[in-house]
Amino acid sequence: MTTLSHEAQQGTTGQGGPALPQEIRLVTEVPGPRSRELAARRTAAVSAAVGSSMPFYAAAAGGGVVVDVDGNSYADLGSGIAVTTVGNSAPAVVAAVTEQVERFTHTCFMITPYDSYVELAERLAELTPGDFAKKSAFFVSGAEAVENAVKIARAHTGRQAVVVFDHAYHGRTNLTMAMTAKNMPYKNGFGPFAPEVYRAPLSYPFRDGLDGPAAAARAIAVVEKQVGAANLAAIVIEPVQGEGGFIVPAPGFLPAIAAWAKENGVVFVADEVQTGVARTGAWFASHLEGVEPDLVTIAKGVAGGLPLSAVTGRAEIVDAPVTGGLGGTYGGNPLATAAALATLRTIEDEDLLARARRLEEILFGRLRALAARDPRVGDVRGRGAMVAVELVKPGTTEPDAALAKKVATEAAQQGVIVLTCGTDGNVLRFLPPLSIGDDLLNQAFDVLDRVFAAN
Ligand SMILES: *Cc1c(COP(=O)(O)O)cnc(C)c1O
């Protein structure tokens, strides 16, 4: 590994657009006049069912900033939901996509295959946990990867049932809505949902006080009584829950679940759509838990912002469906596979795993200091550059969603993009691009400190 590059410390600006100053700078009210004009057009033309957290419209982004159409520059603590891990318009990604877009944009891998698809499958086999033969198939969205992992597990086992967990988020398609826990807004009014999906209790140290093995025993008892191993194709779990609230299970929980799956011939699927590809300070969060999933679902951070998802796992399991059983017109599109290869190279060249661990130190430092003086911060948790605070009524564990919403809204007004999550909406989550500089990150937390103090 090379040492941390100057760009990774200071924030890269991307070579595709103008060099972007790495600063929080507001030159109009938020949202400014151009954003307000777009909002009015949007109201007339875009479905009201599609929401946006931020009231301003993007014009450029790179390093650790997003610049809006009115020229305001915001610190980005969201990365477009954990996608631009290597930075927006990261130079290597721009170069790879530019080169590919001029050669060919699409042939469909199911019609005329191409080398970058094969090379990406080879790379993911090396980078995912476990020293065994692995294969991959590529898709477009995270939800599609999860659906295909279930298809593969069913084809391999000849069984139908799927176990998921409390607070899980796996997507918005019909099968993944059934797998996602939270009704509002993801499922409300959209049923009937796919059958044979069962929910088990998660390890949630802040709320259940159980150690990992005890929480695993509780979950396994539910699965054995309500489903039965003989009917179970797959257990699907996020190693750190994303939309559900950045819940890190107690140590030993995941290994115990994985061991039970192995004993019972159940396919263990780690949904690493949010946690994967350097986000948590390891290539995959499963590495940190010491588990070797049979299948890993990968998306978000893997292709520097281009739409690509993968199922990577044990060769004999991934090979189980009939030929032609997996695929899709755009799955592993050549622009996306080129972007993914450049993303993986950038992570190695700039040692971004170390950068994610360094960001963890800064994030934990700032948030623990906040928690020490503000009793509404009930819990600080996460891994790498995937860290959150759970907000509660002081002296209780009662969720305070209103505070999370207020802080996120006011932070945006003051030049910081920060996202909320959690089944109760009371979690503020921090997912900066790994290309953000230390100075900008600290400035963003100075803003957040002031917003907390003022509310
Ligand atoms: C975002 C997410 C998904 C769904 O990915 P899409 O690309 O939005 O379909 C699935 N699983 C997890 C863990 C996610 O964070």
pLDDT per position as a tens digit, 45-90: 999 999 999 999 999 999 999 999 999 999 999 999 999 999 999 9
d(CA 18, CA 60): 8
Question: Which runs of E-coded beta strand occur in 72-124?
Answer: 73-76
CA of 143 to the centre of ligand 1 (A): 5
- Report pLDDT for 8: 41
Query: Does residue 389 surpass a pLDDT of 50?
Result: yes
Q: Does 242 contact ligand 1 (Cβ within 6 A)?
A: yes
Average pLDDT over residues 404-420: 98
| Higher per-residue pLDDT: 158 or 6 | 158
Residue 436 binned pLDDT confidence (cut-offs 50, 70, 90): very high
Q: What pLDDT, in 10s, does the model give residues 125-173?
A: 999 999 999 999 999 999 999 999 999 999 999 999 999 999 999 999 9
Atom index in ligand 1 nearest the CA of residue 243 equals 15
Buried b (16+ CB within 10 A) or exposed e, 24-35: bebebebbbebb
- Report pLDDT for 58: 98
Q: Does 245 contact ligand 1 (Cβ within 6 A)?
A: no
Average pLDDT over residues 177-204: 98
d(CA 425, CA 432): 20
DSSP state of 77: S
Q: Does 430 contact ligand 1 (Cβ within 6 A)?
A: no
Indicate the burial class of 416 (C-beta count within 10 angstroms; 0-12, 13-18, 19 or more): buried
DSSP state of 303: G
d(CA 7, CA 73): 19
Q: What residue ranges of the chain are covered by domains with CATH 3.90.1150.10?
A: 6-89+351-454
- Could you tell me the pTM of the whole model? 0.96
Query: Does residue 433 surpass a pLDDT of 70?
Result: yes
Atom index in ligand 1 nearest the CA of residue 168 equals 13
Query: Does residue 5 surpass a pLDDT of 90?
Result: no
Average pLDDT over residues 243-269: 98
Residue minimizing CA distance to atom 8 of ligand 1:
142
Torsion from C-alpha of 345, 347, 350, 353, nearest 10 degrees? -150
d(CA 207, CA 223): 21
Query: How many DSSP H helices and E strands does the chain contain?
Result: 16, 15
Helix (H) or strand (E) run with residue 176 in it: helix 174-179
- Residue of 169, 172, 383 with the most ligand 1 atoms within 8 Å of its CB, for mutation: 169
d(CA 181, CA 148): 19
CA of 182 to the centre of ligand 1 (A): 14
Nearest one of 198, 183, 282, 295 to 240, comparing CA atoms: 282
197: β partners: 162
DSSP state of 240: S
| CATH code of the region 6-89+351-454 | 3.90.1150.10
Q: Does 421 contact ligand 1 (Cβ within 6 A)?
A: no
Q: Does 170 contact ligand 1 (Cβ within 6 A)?
A: yes
Residue 186 binned pLDDT confidence (cut-offs 50, 70, 90): very high
- Report pLDDT for 3: 37
- Report pLDDT for 19: 81
Query: Does residue 1 surpass a pLDDT of 50?
Result: no
Q: What residue ranges of the chain are covered by domains with CATH 3.40.640.10?
A: 93-349
Atom index in ligand 1 nearest the CA of residue 242 equals 15
Q: Does 143 contact ligand 1 (Cβ within 6 A)?
A: yes
- Residue of 146, 176, 286 with the most ligand 1 atoms within 8 Å of its CB, for mutation: 146
- Report pLDDT for 315: 98
Show the CA angle centred on residue 128, arms to residues 122 and 132, nearest 5°: 75
Residue 15 binned pLDDT confidence (cut-offs 50, 70, 90): very low
Taking every pair of C-alpha atoms in the chain, what is the biggest distance, in angstroms?
62
User: SS3 of 241, please?
Assistant: coil
* Cβ-contact 193, 303 below 8 angstroms: no
CATH class entry, domain 93-349: alpha beta
